[in-house]
Structure 1
Amino acid sequence: MTRNVAFTLLLTLAASSFAQAPKGPPAAAPPPPRVFVATARIETLDEPKSFVGTVTPLRKSVVGSAASGRVEEYLVNEGDFVKKGAPIAHLRRGIIGAEKKAAEAELEVRKAALLEMENSRADEIAQARAQLAIAEANQTFQHGRAERAKQLLNAITKEALEEAVSHEQQAEATRNNAAAVLRLLTGNTWEQKHEQWKARIAVQEAEVERLSEQFQRHTMFAPFDGWVTAEFTEVGQWMMQGDHAAEIAELGNVDVEIAVLEDYATKLTPGVMGNVEITALRGQRFVGKVAIINPQADARARTFPVKVRVENVVDERGPLLKAGMFARVTLPVGEAKPLPFVPKDAIAIGGRSPVVYVVDTTAGKSSVRPVPVTLGVAQGQWVSVGVGEIKAGDVLVVEGNERLRPGQDVRAEAINISFP
């Protein structure tokens, strides 16, 4: 009990001492965040008009089989991404593969024979010259022996004379044979044989190329980078030449197909920039460029097909813009009129509608005010907004607007953004 009373008194004294201690100056408030700003402007351009359209692949290909056979391997599934040249399916290739290996082996044999012929030529020529020298020496010896036998006709038998003459004839034939061998190695005949072997190799190379082409035809490859959008076969199925294996769509860039009235089509040229809004992506906007204007109109609707090209966003989930999505494209094709323009970096997207932060300065203090805007056409680093939403001369935050709050004080620093 005594111990508890003492502890209580100690806490009371400590609290009293803390309450009577002098207080220091209040902590200084942090300075307002620094932002970079640019000034809105008015430019006279064609009034933007909106058109509805559909996202389509930049390219689409139905990959078919170049040969007949049974599917041995099917390597893709719908939704898979494939690189250009990647195999999609293999037909059975056992027999054609064996023929290809045999042709390649025969080619190596012919190349080795030609190489041996070329490398041994110098030794064969030296050997032929030595044999010719031996044959010539033997011919000289036998000729002298035969001449001596003729001079001693009365002193030797007829058989001995005939033997000497025969040896002379054999030596001459041996010498002629050695000379012929040397001519074959050093004259045009060797060159002709050399060309013949080269021709044999060329023929075999063509055969290997033919069989390699046949072997490749038993595999279907992706014609470009893209996504598999359809499967048409499976392992074990028999395919005839020309049968479909898979459909590949290129979605790294996509086209938005729209129908433009003839009154507006005359004001369009390839390269015109416009905004593309995707409804399924909560109104997310992209910048597109007119790529193709079909000169043939739809006779009933009096509209021209136009393709607006957009760079897609691809991540681990695949392409953000998918074929068949509904899109709205805004292009400058109306009557010329003054339009307010703001820098693209001033637009904050993420809420229910795009906003820009306008900097108001009063009594030397600057604060921000959010203004919802309706986006129009793009011009370089600038984009038009709805008439009346922003005035010329409004100061807009272009850097540092990610975490601003309405009415927040800021320190503004101006930067210059050139207009095309």
Structure 2
Amino acid sequence: MRIATSLAVVICAMIMAAQPLPAQRGPANVDVAKIVEREVASGQTFVGTVMPIKRSVIGSAVGGRVAEFPVNEGDFVRARQPLAQLLTNTINLELDSEKATLDLRKEELNELVNGTRPDEIKRAKALMMAAKADSEYQQKRLKRLESLYARKAVNDDDIQAVVSESIRAEEMFSEAEAAYKLAVEGPRKEQIAQAKARVAVQQALVDKLESQVVKHTIISPFDGYVVAEHTEVGQWVNSGELVAEVIALDHVDVSVQVLENHVPHVQLKSEVRVEIPAIPNQVFTGEVVMIVPQADIRARTFPVKVRLKNEIRKDGPLLKSGMLARAVLPTGPRLKALMVSKDALVLGGPTPMIYVVEPGKKNSKLGKARAVPVQVGVADGRLIQVKGDLESGGYVVIRGNERLHPGQDVMISNVLEPDALPTAKAINTDG
């Protein structure tokens, strides 16, 4: 069995060796751009660490038992997404009771604001007219009895009874008339004000309970990733106790310590090339966003932050918090340097390299790709400084270089500007 396996490996190797190399399939189509010479500040490399632009250690505003904890370390969460939910059964019952009382107070206020109903005014008026008729009847009756009393036709008890009934009827009319006027005028302003105050007090009670319910839901303050869990379902948390930690990684800061003799040359908003050793096949460019004016007294270094836009992939952010980084800050005197498009760099090998096209003598569009190892320096927009066996004005491959190998024949499809964007059009080189 071992002999057969070894024989199969040898046969596969012979078949692969017999296959033609990519260079034998004809020239590869590439886009090129010129090597340019520009004046840039010389760079100095500083070691730093990738840090999130925002970090929040989230605690609970109230005490309670954790009923739900739906997130795990490494999960992506949106702003205001719940991280944990505390039990709220008792508060919800109190809230329902206070809401019902609030509805009662509001309806009481509405009853006063709406005033007396037309039917009630009509009824009060009818009672007033009935009382008036009764009062007039008793007045007329009293006058008749008074004339009879003058002729000694009735006794004192009879006349006193009629007088008393007349007074009662007059007072009943006065009461009915006052009730009618009150019905027409409606509730007093003071009553409406008191009802409004009762509604406001009850609304405050409801708002307080609703605020407590909200505080029982611990939420994320921004979009980010959960990097630490400090509780679990069923655990009791006190007010102020930690629940989770969230960091934002859509942008990251590379924090470096710059020596005091270099920091005066660092300028805000200057472009900085950043290398991430864990991602050797990619060059990152950031911007200086902060120069802290307070040095570490022992080391005489100043914190400088370089901000990078992160790449968010399906499996998470490309740049992760805590990664080692090297930032090339422009801290030295200005000097002339050869610059090429960042797209010309071929990374992933022992050293960065670019492909220089050496045009043929008969056809300037045909040539060979020569691999040139380079040292990378400071960045300037979409251009980057390179040091190696290069000359200003030469052409380097910026599109299609990932498929090339040294000495391969190439066909120049387009000549682009040195700082061309990926979607740039070809430029006219015929003069």
TM range (shorter): 0.7 to 0.9
Cα deviation for residue 48 of structure 1 reads 1.5
Cα deviation for residue 338 of structure 1 reads 1.1
Aligned position for 2:128? 132
Matched position secondary structure for 2:231:
coil
Structure 2 CA distance for partners of 1:127 and 1:265, relative to 1, 3 Å: farther
Task: State whether residues 59 and 250 of structure 1, in contact with CA within 8 Å, keep that contact through their aligned partners in structure 2.
Answer: yes
1:254 is aligned, of 243, 252, 259, to 252
Counterparts in 2 of 1:2-21, with a 5 A limit?
A: none
1:91 is aligned, of 86, 91, 95, to 86
Aligned position for 2:170? 172
Structure 2 CA distance for partners of 1:35 and 1:200, relative to 1, 3 Å: same
Mapped pair 1:114 → 2:109: yes
Matched position secondary structure for 2:273:
strand
Aligned position for 1:284? 282
Structure 2 CA distance for partners of 1:314 and 1:411, relative to 1, 3 Å: closer
1:282 partner letter: P
Task: State whether residues 332 and 377 of structure 1, in contact with CA within 8 Å, keep that contact through their aligned partners in structure 2.
Answer: yes
For each residue in 1:211-243, what CA deviation from the matched residue of structure 2 results, as whole angstroms up to 9, or x when unmatched?
A: 122222323222222212112222222222222
Task: State whether residues 37 and 412 of structure 1, in contact with CA within 8 Å, keep that contact through their aligned partners in structure 2.
Answer: yes
- Mapped to 2, the partners of 1:60 and 1:374 lie a distance apart of 36
- Mapped to 2, the partners of 1:94 and 1:262 lie a distance apart of 59
Query: Percent identical across equivalent pairs?
Result: 39
- Mapped to 1, the partners of 2:399 and 2:171 lie a distance apart of 103
Length, aligned pairs only:
389
TM-score w.r.t. structure 1 length?
A: 0.82
Counterparts in 2 of 1:308-387, with a 5 A limit?
A: 308-349=306-347, 353-361=351-359, 362-366=361-365, 367=367, 369=369, 370-380=371-381, 382-387=382-387
TM-score w.r.t. structure 2 length?
A: 0.80
Mapped pair 1:74 → 2:69: yes
Cα deviation for residue 343 of structure 1 reads 2.6
Mapped pair 1:410 → 2:409: no
**RMSD (Å), alpha carbons:** 2.9
Aligned position for 2:19? none
Mapped pair 1:63 → 2:58: yes
1:267 partner letter: H
Aligned position for 1:146? 142
Cα deviation for residue 402 of structure 1 reads 5.0
Structure 2 CA distance for partners of 1:46 and 1:144, relative to 1, 3 Å: farther
Structure 2 CA distance for partners of 1:164 and 1:287, relative to 1, 3 Å: farther
Structure 2 CA distance for partners of 1:115 and 1:42, relative to 1, 3 Å: same
Cα deviation for residue 305 of structure 1 reads 0.8
For each residue in 1:368-398, what CA deviation from the matched residue of structure 2 results, as whole angstroms up to 9, or x when unmatched?
A: 5244443333323x22222345433223444
- Structure 1: 5+ residue runs without aligned partners? 1-29
- Structure 2: 5+ residue runs without aligned partners? 1-24, 422-431
Aligned position for 2:263? 265
- Mapped to 2, the partners of 1:331 and 1:226 lie a distance apart of 29
Task: State whether residues 75 and 89 of structure 1, in contact with CA within 8 Å, keep that contact through their aligned partners in structure 2.
Answer: yes
Structure 2 CA distance for partners of 1:191 and 1:184, relative to 1, 3 Å: farther
Task: State whether residues 280 and 347 of structure 2, in contact with CA within 8 Å, keep that contact through their aligned partners in structure 1.
Answer: no
361-370 or 350-359, larger mean C-alpha shift: 350-359
Task: State whether residues 35 and 413 of structure 1, in contact with CA within 8 Å, keep that contact through their aligned partners in structure 2.
Answer: no
Matched position secondary structure for 2:387:
coil
Matched position secondary structure for 2:265:
coil
Cα deviation for residue 363 of structure 1 reads 2.7
- Mapped to 1, the partners of 2:243 and 2:71 lie a distance apart of 10
